[in-house]
A and B are shown apart, each in its own frame.
Chain A
């Protein structure tokens, strides 16, 4: 078997406090070269801090408490600040939820793209500016030769997110982490941005770790999807299978809560199903399976014993006593 591009193994992230808690535990996944991988979950389930851990950016009160993160077979969790700096931006890049604030308001966007070439590839500024213009053209910003001199506030949200993509992909990273990249954008712009991202990453062979609470979006874009709940991965399957045969009650709930075209004609007018209850706070995770208070299938064993991982076909897994 080939070495995966990113291998996260038994990741555990601790949240310091009066009592230390594990914000994330037993999280393992692999992303192959050029593969798009989705990480889905509700707010606070630990998906964003998992991404931060992969970037080496956990800050107090969060810290890496255990597990291994390997990029191309090389463990990076213990890298020095200098090594991390070389990885970030050149091999692992990231784009954020908020294109409004992620750009320096006092610097022209062209310069912010060009800085990446100067910083990571030692390019001269004039060469870097030429390449920045080319990068803007690639993300389909109209008249890039003029736009490189624009300041972020002169661009719309969609344009800014395109600039962010241009910055993130400037140095041809191996892995792009996209943390809710379209949440702040209009629905019509969302799909353009997602398509653009997918297309550019495919062209450059960049793998994507897509983080979202939008199961539909992730399933469209990614080959495989992992669902996180309360700090653990509860199910991981190929994107198609997640929709067709969700195995974990939580995933089933998520899938059922999505409206589908043509549903009403098939089954008549129905209320969308919801998952009752709320995500437990990190300080009060229930014993046993963490989903048990909200689960329709919960039994005694669910309340006492945490379920182990059960392998599924196609490298999938599910963490439930009653999967199936």
Chain B
């Protein structure tokens, strides 16, 4: 602001410094790891050495990591590095899109249940508990079995099975925000229910929701890997990190690089997402920050 006094300028600087410190290592390391994964996914055709599917060449089969093939090659002679690079597109797409689906379902159910209460709340809470009681991977397996393998059914299966966490969080947030003066004031000033939800409640609970969505993306990537590993996710020959692991299973003793590199890719991406989630929690949680 142009009129800031020196005192408020120093306060601003102090606030920025606190922001930096509080976000801390996990925010920046997590952000960097996720940033790298996203950059790789976007620039895949540029940085891949060979085509991930069509480059099969049995002359190159099972070459260990080296100069020509940095991560080695598989039994069909395809470059593992290129397959991992392309596989990032699938893993990230599944992680992000299924988590968006989860958040949309969870937040709309949780928000409306917390706001309206009553029978609807009982119903939604019951449904949430039911979902939490079913192992989500088994449920996703069942959905995949019905829909058949493929990217779209993966996203649907994972999107329908993991919304209970955001639903619970949203509901709990609404219950505490509902008693805030400004939410009451909005009602007194003649705001409709939907307007209260979207202008008063949702913006004020976005922080924790973003955190849980970030953490959920890591979970979704792992679930994709697990489903593909079980043969229900992405079908060979298209590369996803999980299906690569699945194919490498038999040769883990003889050709370890087949499983190590996709495993590391999953590890660092999920680690990055979890660290990012933690870091975001630290700076977005109103308990630990003074509001802007």
Binding site for B on A (CB under 8 A): 55, 57, 85-90, 93-94, 96, 98, 100-107, 115-116, 119-120, 146, 151, 153, 164, 167-168
Give the A-B pair count, Cβ closer than 8 A. 67
Q: In the bound complex, do residue A55 and residue B195 qualify as a contact, i.e. CB atoms below 8 Å apart?
A: no
Closest to A90 in B: B190
Contact partner of A167 among B184, B189, B200, B203, CB < 8 A? B189
B182–A105 CB distance below 8 A: yes
A57 contacts which of B188, B203, B204, B291 (Cβ < 8 Å)? B188
Chain B 189-204 against A: per-residue CB contact (8 Å), 1 yes, 0 no?
1111001000110011
Are A89's CB and B188's CB within 8 A? yes
Closest Cβ–Cβ distance, residue B57 to chain A (whole Å)? 57
CB-CB under 8 A from B186, the residues of chain A are 104
Chain B contact surface mostly: helix
B187 on interface, CB distance cutoff 8 Å: yes
* A105 near B204: Cβ-Cβ < 8 Å: yes
Given A96-B181, A105-B204, A107-B203, residue A57 in contact with residue B187 (CB < 8 A):
yes
- Contact A106 to B203, CB < 8 A, known contacts A98-B181, A153-B291, A153-B292: yes
Q: B180 on the interface (CB 8 Å rule)?
A: yes
**Contact A88–B192 (Cβ < 8 Å):** no
Chain A proximity of B239: nearest CB distance (Å): 43
B185 proximal to A (CB < 8 A): yes
Contact status A85-B182, CB under 8 Å: no
Measured between beta carbons, the chain B residues less than 8 angstroms from A101 are 180-182
Q: Are B189 and A89 in contact (CB under 8 A)?
A: yes
Distance in angstroms from A52 CB to nearest chain B CB is 9
Listed in ascending order, the chain B residues whose CB lies under 8 Å from chain A are 1, 3, 180-182, 184-192, 195, 199-200, 203-204, 291-292
Cross-chain contact B190 with A119 (CB below 8 angstroms): yes
- Could you list 11 A-B pairs, sorted by A, with CB under 8 Å? A57-B187, A86-B190, A88-B190, A89-B188, A93-B188, A101-B181, A103-B182, A104-B200, A107-B203, A115-B199, A167-B185
From A104, A146, A168, B182 is in contact (CB under 8 Å) with A104
Least CB distance, B196 to chain A, in whole angstroms: 10
CB pair A102–B190 under 8 Å, yes or no, is no
B residues in contact with A96, CB < 8 Å = 181, 184-185
Most buried by A among B180, B181, B203, B204: B181
- How many Å from the CB of A253 to the closest CB on chain B? 32
* Inter-subunit contact A87/B190 (CB<8 Å): yes
Docked complex Cα distance between A158 and B186 (Å): 20
A85–B181 CA distance with the chains assembled, in angstroms: 18
CA of A42 to CA of B65 in the docked complex: distance in angstroms? Answer: 82
In the complex, the answer to whether B188 meets A85 with C-beta atoms within 8 Å is no
Q: What A residues does B182 contact at CB under 8 A?
A: 101-105
Determine how close the nearest CB of chain B comes to the CB of A87; give it in whole angstroms.
Answer: 7
Q: Which residues of A are found within 8 Å of B190, using beta-carbon distances? A: 85-90, 119-120
Closest partner residue, chain A, to B183 (CB atom): A104
Known contacts: A107-B199, A151-B292, A153-B291. The answer to whether A102 contacts B187 by CB under 8 A is: no
Contact A93–B189 (Cβ < 8 Å): yes
User: Closest A-chain residue to B201, C-beta based?
Assistant: A104
Given the known interface contacts A105-B291, A107-B199, the answer about A88 and B181 at a Cβ–Cβ threshold of 8 Å is no
Contacts of B184 in A (CB 8 A): 96, 102
Chain A residues contacting B188 (CB-CB under 8 Å) are 55, 57, 88-89, 93-94
- Chain A residues near B204: list those with CB within 8 A: 104-106
Min CB distance, B197 to chain A, in Å?
13
Contacts of A106 in B (CB 8 A): 203-204
Cα distance, A107 to B190, chains bound together (Å): 17
A106–B3 CA distance with the chains assembled, in angstroms: 22
Select from chain A the residue with minimum beta-carbon distance to B181.
Answer: A101
B-side contacts of A93, CB under 8 Å: 188-189
**Which of chain A's residues has its CB closest to B195's CB?**
A119
Q: Which of B188, B203, B291 has the largest number of chain A CB atoms within 10 A?
A: B188
Min CB–CB distance A291 → chain B (angstroms): 32
**CA of A167 to CA of B195 in the docked complex: distance in angstroms?**
16
Q: Tell me the complex Cα distance, A38–B169, Å.
A: 43
